[in-house]
Amino acid sequence: MPITDSFAPTADFAPVATDSLAGLPAGGVPADVLAAGGSAADNLSGFSAWTVTIMETLGPVGVGFMVFLDNIFPPIPSELVLPLAGFTSSQGQMNIVAAIVFATIGSVVGAVLLWALGKWIGIERIARIAVKMPLVDVDDVHKTVDWFDKHGDKAVFFGRMIPIFRSLISIPAGMRDMRLTKFLLLTTAGSAIWNTILIVAGFTLGENWSVVETYAGYFQNVVIVAVVVFVIVWIVFKVRKQRRKKAAGLDTTEGDHIEPGEFEV
């Protein structure tokens, strides 16, 4: 028998090689695995696989649970969780409308807990702590409170769409005793928009859901850089201001105390 004949592919071998590649999207889960009831998390790893497994196990409730955790524990990023919810829906493991609804419920529940925390702490208690910090004086606290009193509604609504702030904005809302009904309305509206955008994007991109996470990560980095720059500029301004006061012989700590009821709404 010629040597070439000994290596000729058999009729049974060729279809197996072809079928093993069929339906395999780049970076995704093989179509035949999903058709056989496989998990959308099979080709994922780490936190992504764990998140998808929770969503597949608990359904839309799992989405709400993960988003709730994101609100009270920001290191769990909604920029990752929400596109994964869309991806899981695109694999037929979950209804996309239910995913959006429960994600919004999770956002609101987490926000209300932080609102209640802010209300319990109170603005006066925080103000007394703040004025004891270096470079902070009573005027700074008053300006911050005045700003929130003027722009609090917009801050709560748009803050739900900004990394870092989406969790933190609930606390000053509670401190300033924003009406719970107004807070719920603004938080629900802002959260629903943000959740819908990321979940639908993850659903549309399917196995390429990580594209959403990438660009959302860029947005988060821009926000972080902007905050860092603001803090540095603020520190430089305050240091120069205190130096001018000392040069003029003024007491930089004079008047740094909070009177009871000073910040009543």
For 28, which DSSP code? Answer: S
Nearest to 173 by CA among 141, 195, 194, 145: 145
For 9, which DSSP code? Answer: P
Helix, strand or coil, per DSSP, at residue 111 = helix
Token digits for 15?
């279809």
For 206, which DSSP code? Answer: G
Nearest to 118 by CA among 110, 126, 128: 126
Nearest to 156 by CA among 126, 185, 128: 185
* Residue 198 near residue 163 (C-beta atoms within 8 A): no
The C-alpha atoms of residue 148 and residue 127 are separated, in whole angstroms, by: 14
The packing angle between helices 96-121 and 78-90, to 10°, is 160
Tens digit of pLDDT at every position of the chain (265 positions): 444 444 444 444 444 333 333 333 433 444 443 443 455 555 565 677 777 788 888 889 999 998 998 888 866 777 788 988 888 888 888 899 999 999 999 999 999 999 999 999 888 888 777 777 776 777 777 788 888 989 999 999 999 988 878 888 999 999 998 999 999 999 999 999 999 999 999 898 887 777 776 777 777 778 788 888 888 988 888 788 777 767 776 655 555 666 666 666 5
Strands, E assignment, 32-149: none
* Residue 29 near residue 207 (C-beta atoms within 8 A): yes
User: Based on the number of CB atoms within 10 Å of its own CB, is 80 exposed (0-12), middle (13-18) or buried (19 or more)?
Assistant: buried
What's the pTM? 0.73
For 8, which DSSP code? Answer: P
